[in-house]
Structure 1
C-alpha cells in the first residue's frame, strides 16, 4: 500500500520545464501567428509587414457582421464611440473594421463624401498642425509634403473626405501602429491597420457617402 501511495503521489508532481520549453511557451504567447488577412503583403509598392496581432485585441479585427441601418449600401459609417468603421453591404450586412480616432478636441462628426482615394499617398500636414508642431515644417504644403512609404503617417492608402465640395482635411488612412487601434490618438483622422485600409480602399467607390457618429464624451468639430 505504501508503495502504491508513493507512486500515486509521484504522479501528481510534474517534471520542471526546461529553459528551452519555457522560452518557446513565452514566444507563442507574445508572437501569435497573424490571421491570413493580417499577413505580410510583399507585393505592395512598399512591402507591408505582417501585423503584430499581440498588440490588437481580437474585437478590433476585420469581420463581416449583421448591421441594421437605414443608410444605403456603399455608405461608410464611422462609429466614433465604439471605435468601429462599417462599410455597408446589401442584405443587412457590413464589413466592420477596428479604428483609431481623433483624441479629445480633434475628433469630428457629420455627413460628407469620400471624394477620392490614393494608394501610397504623400502627406502634407495642414498649416494649423505645423503651427502646433514646428518640427513638421519640412513636410508642409509649401515644401511638398512627405513622400510615400511605410513611415508616412497616411500609410498604404488614404480616403479623402470632402463636404460641400471642399476638403475637410480629415482622412481615413492606414497606420503601422497596431496598438493605436481602438484608441483616441490621432489629430482627427480615422486610422486603420494597413491591411484593413487596403481592403477598404478596394471596396469603396469615389463619391461614397460617409457618416461620422460623434462621441458625446469628447469635444468634436461638426462637419455639415
Structure 2
C-alpha cells in the first residue's frame, strides 16, 4: 500500500504487520491512485523517458536522453518494479534527498537500499494499491 499523502510505502506481511519505507511520489499534476499488480522486476534497469516527459523537460531547458543504461547515474536506481501496463514504477533513485516529497512524474521513488530490500521481498503478481 502506497500512501501518496504521507509518502510511505507499507509492505503488509502475512502476519498482519507491515514494513514501512519512505517514498517520493508524484508532484502536483502527476498524482494518481489505483490498484495494479507488479508485472515485471529489473535490477539496474535501463531508462527510456516517455516522449511526453522529454518534450515537457525540453520546454524547461532540460534535455533528457532517449536512453540511459542502468547504473549509478540512472534515475531509476538499483531496482524497478513495473506496475501493470502503466509507465509507472516503484524504483530506486540517484537523488535520495527527494524521498519524502512529491517530486516525481508519477513513479514511486525509494532509496536504493530500500528498493533492493523490497525487491527481494515481493514477487511478480503482487498487488500494489496506491492511495
TM exceeds 0.5? yes
Shift of the alpha carbon at 1:131?
1.5
Q: Which residue of 2 aligns with 1:171?
A: 89
Q: Deviations over 1:128-155 (max 9, x none)?
A: 111112312x32xxxxx21011110100
After TM superposition, the score normalised by the length of structure 2 is 0.93
**Count of matched residue pairs:** 127
Q: Does 1:209 align with 2:131?
A: no
The alignment partner of 1:172 has SS state of strand
Q: Deviations over 1:171-206 (max 9, x none)?
A: 100013222111011111100000000000000100
- Partner of residue 21 from structure 2, selected from 85, 97, 107: 97
Q: Which residue of 2 aligns with 1:133?
A: 57
Q: Deviations over 1:44-98 (max 9, x none)?
A: xxxxxxxxxxxxxxxxxxxxxxxxxxxxxxxxx1011111001110222011100
Q: Which has the higher helix share?
A: 1
Segments of structure 1 that go 5 or more residues without pairing to the other structure are 1-76, 140-144, 214-224
Pick the structure with greater CA Rg: 1
Q: Which residue of 1 aligns with 2:3?
A: 79
**C-alpha separation between the residues in 1 aligned to 2:14 and 2:126?**
15
The alignment partner of 1:210 has SS state of strand
**C-alpha separation between the residues in 1 aligned to 2:32 and 2:49?**
17
Segments of structure 2 that go 5 or more residues without pairing to the other structure are none
Q: Deviations over 1:94-115 (max 9, x none)?
A: 1110001110001111011110
**C-alpha separation between the residues in 2 aligned to 1:92 and 1:158?**
25
Instruction: Show structure 1 runs of 4+ deviating over 3 A.
Output: none
Q: Which residue of 1 aligns with 2:76?
A: 154
**C-alpha separation between the residues in 2 aligned to 1:78 and 1:179?**
19
After TM superposition, the score normalised by the length of structure 1 is 0.55
The alignment partner of 1:168 has SS state of coil
Indicate conservation of the 8 Å contact 2:74/2:94, yes or no. Answer: no
Q: Which residue of 2 aligns with 1:192?
A: 110
- Partner of residue 101 from structure 2, selected from 183, 196, 199: 183
Larger RCO (alpha carbons 8 Å, 6+ apart) = 2
